[in-house]
Chains A and B, each alone.
Chain A
Amino acid sequence: DIVMTQSPDSLSVSLGERATINCESSQSLLYRPNNKNYLAWYQQKTGQPPKLLINWASTRESGVPDRFSGSGSGTHFTLTISSLQAEDVAVYYCQQYYTVPVTFGQGTRLEIK
């Protein structure tokens, strides 16, 4: 199985500041024939199911604010929130879909400082 490791486990950021969450995979998620990275990011607020934010490592889902961005390739990926808003408090997960079984990172809890 591909192991997904996120860092940090928790993060406190002031409103309006940048938040950065890292995700590392145990093997490359880059599929050379189409040059795409098979990685998604989700946001999970308390008591809710996860919400898809980004796929293909950097493609925002429709309706996701543009303060959310994804980057990275191969085995190292980053989710960045450019200017933290109060409603962004949540746990964030990365997920690889390069192969079955699909696996998730352990999650990063984002709080307001």
Chain B
Amino acid sequence: QVQLQESGPGLVKPSQTLSLTCTVSGGSISSGSYYWTWIRQPAGKGLDWIGRISTDGRTDYKPSLKSRVTLSVDTSKNQFFLELSSVTAADTAVYYCARDNVYCTGGSCYPRWFDPWGQGTLVTVSS
């Protein structure tokens, strides 16, 4: 079965760029119709959808983060990536990657539920 694993620095300085990798194992990232998603969770708080990417590079971002977020994918490595620029303490959170089981029709792909999820990685923004 497909598994996801996040990796990247656990500490990022304010104003710098947070960069994370999600590695997909147990299957090809290009297999089936899926979008690959990033979701974050500040300590003790709820889940915050950041954005999603298809294997051909189509993206959707949360509007309030759109100016700072870049998602990319490398199908040859079975990985997708998150970059979040100009970070502040408010970006401190556990970051999850997950698979969006989208439904595609007429050239558009509509979101569905998230399964599976990675275990999450804590990123702290601090000097």
Contact = CB atoms under 8 A, between A and B. Distances in A.
Interface of A: 1, 40, 42, 48-52, 55, 61, 93, 95, 97, 99-107
Contacts of A103: 49
Nearest to B111: A97
A104 B112 contact: no
Interface of B: 45-49, 52, 60-63, 96, 98, 100, 110-115, 117-120
Contacts of B118: 49
A101 B63 contact: yes
A22 to B, nearest CB: 16
Contact of B46 (A1, A61, A104): A104
A87 B100 CA distance: 27
Contact of B117 (A50, A95, A104): A50
Contacts of A1: 63
B46 A97 contact: no
A40 B49 contact: no
A106 B63 CA distance: 19
Closest 7 CB pairs of A and B: A49-B117, A40-B113, A104-B47, A52-B115, A97-B111, A102-B49, A106-B46
